[in-house]
Amino acid sequence: MKLQRRVVVTGLGLISPLGNNVNSSWEACINGKSGISFVDNKIKNSPVSIGGQITNLNIEAYIDKKDIRRLDTFIQYGVVAAQQAINDSGLTDSHVNLDRVGINFGTGIGGIETIENNHLSYLDKGYRKVSPFFVPGSIANMTSGFISIKYGLRGPNLCTVTACSSGNHSVGQAARSIAYGEADAMVTGGSEMASTELSISGFISARALSLSTDPKTASRPWDIDRDGFVLSDGAGALILEELNHAINRGANIYGEIIGFGMSSDAHHMTAPPENGSGAALSMKNAIDDAELNPNDIDYINAHGTSTPLGDIAEAKAIMNVFNDKKPSISSTKSMTGHTLGAAGAIESIFSILSINKGIVPPTINLDNLDPNCILDFTPHEAKDKNIKIAMNNSFGFGGTNSTLIFKKY
């Protein structure tokens, strides 16, 4: 970044439809395994029967039973991922000044499950049956608040809500909190559990979801037969630190954040401009922030949601920014589905691991490439590649765009 203090990644935590930790999710990802399955959404006559769910997760290993009853599931997922990342980093095992450790954890929709359940209780039996934990257990910033309380983190306590770019924005803004000198370390990421009757119904009405009845092939970014995204749940967490802070405590460094770009489409509530101009500006801003040239980017973990309009717009944006030299590209949403506000954090982790492991994850189900999207999308199988610099894109409803750039340390 252009500011003085360098920011590195020292801890990772992840739960996704592919697995309940970083290693299992990554192994499934690079082996092209789909995490999508049939779901019972309990919506009468629903045309959607698939999704990406979290399964076999022992929440009680991370959170007390009392708190589980009080917290929306999206908060629980965020706490689990954050605890994994904190343990991975060893941050709280060190003699660090917790006044200088903060948190910025995002979500796209927040506690919609708790909102729905309490509304049903209100309609059935009146206000006396609404839980006293309804508001604190569902508001968007309570993941940040609970993690701060759990670990005694007294630095900045923030939550970023920018639809499907929330995770990316949270990571970028957390990095800037360190670069600006507001904190020495930040817990950051995104979490989501939006697979509820009301949420699914809303996305169905917006014609955003895939209506495929084959869960393993439904998410197919850039394929000519794609018909919408697959809604999924999950959370990703990263520990960011100022470089010398990490070195002085002997932390393992996964990589460095060197660029962060943002933009707005200023176009439509849910649809991107056809030429992808907003996405292109976000990527250009990140490249400028990193003081790089487009040719320096080795890999892009794309937004790639499997929507007819969005995939074309992002492909055109990449063509615009990168001209003749196109980096390797993939959409890991082809395997995870779309985790909304958690996606940017999950895909930041995959981007960092791509650098560390020298592997470009595949885009599965890309059987018939859309002729409007002629780029190297790494179809079907992962490939080995020396990746020094990776880019991660996330875009959201309201025309909000964000791009992160990571570098090998």
User: Which residue numbers are catalytic?
Assistant: 164, 303, 338
CA distance 37 to 358: 29
Residues listed for the chain: 409
**How is the chain split among helix, strand and coil, in percent rounded to 5?**
40, 20, 40
Task: Name the DSSP letter for residue 138.
Answer: T
CA distances (Å), origin 124, targets 112, 120, 134, 203, 221: 18, 6, 16, 26, 42
Orientation of helix 197-205 relative to helix 112-125, angle to 10°: 110
Query: Which of 341, 150, 309, 318 is closest to 236 using CA atoms?
Result: 341
Q: CA nearest 393: which of 252, 267, 259?
A: 259
d(CA 385, CA 124): 58
Q: Are 306 and 314 spatial neighbours (Cβ–Cβ below 8 Å)?
A: no
On whether the CB atoms of residues 177 and 102 are closer than 8 A, the answer is yes
Spatial distance between the Cα atoms of 332 and 30, rounded to a whole number of angstroms: 9
Structure tokens at 303: 């937004």
Map residue 342 onto helix, strand or coil: helix
Q: Please, which residues have CB within 8 angstroms of residue 149's CB and are 6 or more apart in sequence?
A: none
Distance separating alpha carbons of residues 98 and 107, to the nearest angstrom: 24
What is the 8-class DSSP label of residue 139? S
